[in-house]
Homo-oligomer: A and B are copies of this chain.
Amino acid sequence: MSTYIPPLRDIRFTMEEVVGLEAISALPGFEEATSEMADSILTEAGHIAEGVLSPLNRAGDEVGAVQENGVVRTVPGWKDAWNTLVDGGWNGLPFPAEYGGMGLPNLFNTAVHEMWQAANMAFTLCPMLTQGAVNAISLYGSDAQKEFYLPRMVSGQWTGTMNLTEPQAGSDLSAVRSKAVPDGDKFRLSGQKIFITYGDHDMAENIVHLVLARLPDAPPGVKGISLFVVPKILPGGIANDVKCVSLEHKLGIHGSPTAVMSFGDHEGAWGELIGQPHRGLEYMFAMMNHARLAVGLQGLAIAERAYQQAVSYARDRVQGKPAGWTASGSAGIVHHPDVRRLLMTMKCQIEAMRGIHYTAAAASDIVHHDSDPERRRQAGLRVEFLTPIAKGWCTEVGQAIASMGVQVHGGMGYIEETGAAQHLRDARITTIYEGTTAIQGNDLVNRKILRDKGAFAGQLLTEIADLAGDLSASADPALRAMGGRLAAAAAAAARAVSWLVKDGAEHPALVAASAVPMLELMGVVVGGQQVALAARVAKAAMETGKDHDGFYGAKLATARFYAEHILPHAEALELAVTSGAAVVMGMDEALL
């Protein structure tokens, strides 16, 4: 049976010692976000993860959400779990006190959600999407809308959804056909939406759908899409003209109801416009950027979960005499070098991903709270640059790690009762929803690199090269190894950026062909930066005699492993960009 132990020490190390909680606590409005508060929040959220959400994860997979007689029922126990979050005010953690929130940093919220996603990803999609909907209404809703919806959603009394996809409009939202016809100061919506996560369920009193649709006078394409808020239950307790047609039968996240939604089968679904007409896609992107980071966090979370289960199995499973084993008899497979190689590959990338996510979260706190405009601007650039990496790279890596988790289990990994396969099945959606890896790659090359002609990418890579130079000068062999490989990887990334800006920019097909290799390259390098920063911090702690139990020393070992096994692929990815992009379209489609 798979259990999940919140990795509180690792989380706090990254949060406090690598990313730096102090700077966040010092921001205006975050005076209460101290180290003690972090301790208290993380401990309590960890209890919920371990004691409430994790035990429901397997049943979520086996039983799944079901639709019976038109009603969507979540897995037994899930409603109680949701109420636990509501009772603790957990849904409001990052939101302002005026709507009933705790007003704590996004950094805290990220750490909490890491644990919950690891404990039960299918469940945690519900609070995750609700937070995204709160963000969208906070940013673009009218005062009346905020006043009406936010307190109910921040508390978790009501949940939220994103209604974007239609059968013909997936990655290409310009093809959205759902309609909204004015009716007084409201609108009547009609259309079909698919892949709507928690589109219907029985955990909360009401569901607030944020829906993309076209007004009658809308221009075609992305500039004619508006955003509407459409509650499942109207004021007065009347059912809106919104129906869950069916639930999808999916590879994983069975506990999360993925709905086909039909709006306006009868008189039209009652909705209100959010913000200005025709600007829905822009608003939805604000929500989607949150969702992208949150899905990227699922990559980290499921990787941590798979890793814990693999380590536990590898310690217990005795099989054969490991190569180089000097004791007599058999040993746990954790002592077999290739099992260790897999576990280290998992561990070092988990630490890289945690560093990326917590860095992005802290930067977003600076964006919203720092008093200095230049610091806000710089932090904003960092969040924007890291978002496609935190989503695209971390989900690809998370999936690979979930698969490694199966591999460590050998034949038992293929048996569903073991639970290792569930993590792989659950993880498999993360590179697809909220924008596929290709969408993330295109976001990176077009909006985050080409738009400023590589300026921020260059600044970040210089920062990494400086860090590498610093480590290369160290007397410690792990730091030196990391410094050398990181310098080489950052240089490879800089050459790829330079190629993109100079040779690629004029050729959209070349840019798009280079997008995912560039994303992977940046992921490897930025992940390396995080692991290197952690190693430097750890070394300093060791030098001041703080390493009582080997925790800091282990950070040097993971850094060295990352340096020797992950970073060397940077040059191959550079070539996939600089000479590989040109050959992607080299074959006539008919010959595929």
Binding site for B on A (CB under 8 A): 165, 168, 170-172, 174-175, 194-195, 248-252, 311, 315, 318-320, 322-325, 330, 334-341, 343-344, 347, 399, 403, 406-407, 410-411, 413-417, 421, 424-425, 428-429, 431-433, 436-438, 441-442, 481, 507-513, 515-517, 550-551, 553-554, 557-558, 560-561, 564-565, 568-569, 571-572, 575-576, 579-581, 583-592
List of B residues within 8 angstroms of A587 by Cβ: 344, 554, 557-558, 561
List of B residues within 8 angstroms of A507 by Cβ: 324
List of B residues within 8 angstroms of A586 by Cβ: 344, 557, 560-561
A12 CA to B560 CA in the complex, in Å? 47
Q: Chain B nearest CB: distance from A392 CB in Å?
A: 11
Describe A's contact surface by its main secondary structure.
Answer: helix
A321 CA to B115 CA in the complex, in Å? 39
A337-B512, A431-B407, A583-B557 given as contacts; is B575 within 8 A of A572 (CB)? no
A323 CA to B439 CA in the complex, in Å? 12
Contact in complex: B584, A344 (CB < 8 Å) = yes
Residue of B416, B438, B550, B576 near A591 (CB, 8 A) is B550
Contact in complex: B407, A403 (CB < 8 Å) = no
Contact in complex: A512, B428 (CB < 8 Å) = no
A564 CA to B582 CA in the complex, in Å? 9
Closest residue of chain B to A519, judged by CB? B338
- List 20 A-B residue pairs with CB atoms under 8 Å apart, sorted by A's residue number: A171-B319, A171-B320, A194-B411, A249-B415, A311-B592, A315-B589, A323-B442, A336-B438, A347-B592, A407-B431, A407-B437, A410-B436, A411-B433, A554-B588, A557-B591, A558-B587, A561-B580, A561-B586, A564-B575, A569-B569
Residue of B248, B334, B424, B515 near A589 (CB, 8 A) is B334
List of B residues within 8 angstroms of A343 by Cβ: 592
Contact in complex: A428, B421 (CB < 8 Å) = yes
Contact in complex: B165, A411 (CB < 8 Å) = yes
A428-B403, A428-B414 given as contacts; is B583 within 8 A of A561 (CB)? yes
A198 CA to B424 CA in the complex, in Å? 26
List of B residues within 8 angstroms of A194 by Cβ: 411
Q: Chain B nearest CB: distance from A164 CB in Å?
A: 11
A319-B172, A403-B399, A436-B407 given as contacts; is B554 within 8 A of A580 (CB)? no
A581 CA to B311 CA in the complex, in Å? 20
Instruction: Identify the interface centre among A410, A413, A558: most chain B CB within 10 Å of its CB.
Output: A410
Instruction: Identify the interface centre among A170, A311, A335, A417: most chain B CB within 10 Å of its CB.
Output: A170
A320 CA to B438 CA in the complex, in Å? 13
Q: Chain B nearest CB: distance from A354 CB in Å?
A: 16
Q: Chain B nearest CB: distance from A484 CB in Å?
A: 10
Instruction: Identify the interface centre among A339, A513, A564, A589: most chain B CB within 10 Å of its CB.
Output: A564
List of B residues within 8 angstroms of A429 by Cβ: 414
A171-B319, A338-B512, A407-B437 given as contacts; is B583 within 8 A of A414 (CB)? no
